[in-house]
Structure 1
Amino acid sequence: MAAAVAGHGWVRADGGASDAAVYCLQGQGAAPDLYLKHGVEAAAADIADEMARLRWLAPYLPVPAVRQFARAADPEQAWLLMTAMPGTTASAVLEANPALGPAVVDALAAFLRRLHAVPVRDCPFDAGHALRLAQARQRIDGGLVDADDFDAERTGWTAEQVWAALHGCLPLAPDLADLADLVVTHGDFSLDNILMHEGAIAGCIDVGRAGVADRYQDLAIVWRSLGELDASLQQRLLRAYGIVDADQGKLQFYLLLDELF
């Protein structure tokens, strides 16, 4: 990748919950800005997952373009070089101007409907709750869950308590074989992962968990993000998305599940 990044200024990007190191590469002159992710072991696998999903999503949604990808075996490492996208995160937009809340929420709902309209039959990635429960169990057993980062209502909980509460929410529907509510999901549809430019959604980032799952996987994450700002925005999101009566059980399940990632 040396030729592709030559002449760029390097800045370590802070924030986010990923174990990968993220760098903003600032282009000089006509050279474009880039982002580079580097991860070792589990983070390397996550980066490979993101690369595959970025390439698959590109025809459907505005996402960073993959410039280069490399992986090494000993020790396991991965590098992902992507184009930078224009815009500012939706969270930063709302923090700078809370009055924009209704307009931002309407844009988020429209973008989420667009994502969820991507044909499920074309998506090769499974992100259903059964798979993610298995991944969550692996993270608990591996000591990878950060209990200090749990939501306020679960302060003081252990990962095992979250695990038990999750299973108290099952089954999610009377007929788990019913595929009617499965859509292509982002997997971590938070305000920090949605970019806005000139009042519109410019695209989404951090798509390593994207795949076929219940639509509430995405709705729960953005619903929680908005609730930290203004509870009225939560209801506006659901209405704009097209939900009159939200399934509170599914919201709770996916919020609990997200604690383990």
Structure 2
Amino acid sequence: MSIPSLPRAIPELVLREAAGQRVEAVWTNGLGGTTWQIGEGEDRDFIKMGPEHPEFDITGEIQRLDWLAEFLPVPSLVSCGFDDDGVWIRTKGLPGSNAVAPRNVTNAAPVVPALGRGLRRFHDALPVDECPFDWSVESRSSLLRNPFEVSIPAPRAEHVVVCHGDACNPNFLIGDDGEVSGFVDLGRTGVADRHADLAPAVLSLGWNFGDGWTDAFLSAYCADGLTVDRDLLELYIRLWNAE
């Protein structure tokens, strides 16, 4: 995901949904999709649009948002559908600023540990036995774009959690208290090894904050003495890069 570098033509659907409110393109992704912000402040909504693709499963994301809402601050659904521009979902905005907004990127020393604590909060809050969604290595095989022939061991019991599914830094919001205030882009949430989430989280630290932040992130995530398997983490990084 990245912040659009050039102005973008606003699709007719977005203009219609905005009904005269201010519209701004806030994110683009590698699939050719764009997220648009409608309105400002606490009343803002977001429309995520993209081409039909297995990684952009509107039905699956709606189901996950509905399940997650009982446990964590996640967006609530406003509307969704598909048209000539692709598929789309409109959700209510959450309090806080994007973790990679300029104000946060230039304040990395407290923000990066907050992201570690936020991901740990996500994992600790969700009941694995009640989660109907899967994000195991096997379930991800159909999304591989590049060869991946490395065997990843089955997760140890203490590492089985409900994963975010795309724990890159931009999918976390930072509140006024400096802690994570919300979670977004949850279309792949499911049960998996926690290292599967840690992989994109630490990868995106380098993309968004620069090198040298992995230890600060993992120290915050593991504040209670949990141990991260660095070799296993590297395998999940390779899997992420193969998708």
TM-score bracket, normalised by the shorter chain, equals: 0.7 to 0.9
TM-score (norm 2): 0.78
**Partners of 1:52 and 1:244 in 2: how far apart?**
31
**Match 1:211 to one of 184, 190, 212:** 190
Structure 2 equivalent of residue 239 of structure 1: 219
Quick check: 1:48–1:78 contact (8 Å CA) kept in 2? no
Residue by residue over 1:24-83, the C-alpha shift from the partner in whole angstroms, topping out at 9 and shown as x without a partner, is 1126xx9921111233321695233222212221121111111122357xx795331111
Alignment: residue pair count: 225
Structure 2 equivalent of residue 37 of structure 1: 48
**SS of 1:116 mapped into structure 2:** helix
Distance 1:46 1:20, change over 3 A: farther
Quick check: 2:114–2:220 contact (8 Å CA) kept in 1? no
Distance 1:85 1:70, change over 3 A: same
Distance 1:220 1:94, change over 3 A: farther
Quick check: 2:72–2:182 contact (8 Å CA) kept in 1? yes
Structure 2 equivalent of residue 25 of structure 1: 38
Code of the residue aligned with 1:101 in structure 2: it is A
Quick check: 1:238–1:244 contact (8 Å CA) kept in 2? no
Residue by residue over 1:159-180, the C-alpha shift from the partner in whole angstroms, topping out at 9 and shown as x without a partner, is 33xx2xxx23x1x33xx37544
Tell me the CA shift for residue 126 of structure 1: 0.3
**Partners of 1:220 and 1:134 in 2: how far apart?**
19
Identity between Structure 1 and Structure 2 (%): 30
Quick check: 2:51–2:85 contact (8 Å CA) kept in 1? yes
Quick check: 2:155–2:192 contact (8 Å CA) kept in 1? no
Structure 2 equivalent of residue 226 of structure 1: 205
Quick check: 1:94–1:101 contact (8 Å CA) kept in 2? no
Structure 1 equivalent of residue 241 of structure 2: 259
Quick check: 1:126–1:212 contact (8 Å CA) kept in 2? yes
Alignment of 1:38-187 (within 5 A): 38-42=49-53, 45-71=56-82, 77-93=86-102, 96-97=105-106, 100-117=107-124, 118-136=126-144, 140=145, 159-160=146-147, 163=148, 167-168=149-150, 170=151, 172-173=152-153, 176=154, 178-187=156-165
Tell me the CA shift for residue 249 of structure 1: 2.4
Quick check: 2:155–2:193 contact (8 Å CA) kept in 1? no
Tell me the CA shift for residue 12 of structure 1: 2.9
TM-score (norm 1): 0.73
Unaligned ranges ≥5, structure 2: 1-12
**Partners of 1:257 and 1:20 in 2: how far apart?**
22
Residue by residue over 1:178-228, the C-alpha shift from the partner in whole angstroms, topping out at 9 and shown as x without a partner, is 544210111111111111121221212111111111000111222222345
Tell me the CA shift for residue 96 of structure 1: 4.5
1:10 maps onto 2:23 in alignment: yes
Q: Compare CA radii of gyration and give the structure with the larger one.
A: 1
Distance 1:219 1:14, change over 3 A: closer
**Partners of 2:197 and 2:72 in 1: how far apart?**
16
**Partners of 2:204 and 2:35 in 1: how far apart?**
23
Tell me the CA shift for residue 3 of structure 1: 8.3
Whose helix proportion is higher, 1 or 2?
1
Quick check: 2:57–2:187 contact (8 Å CA) kept in 1? yes
Distance 1:90 1:76, change over 3 A: closer
Quick check: 2:31–2:51 contact (8 Å CA) kept in 1? no
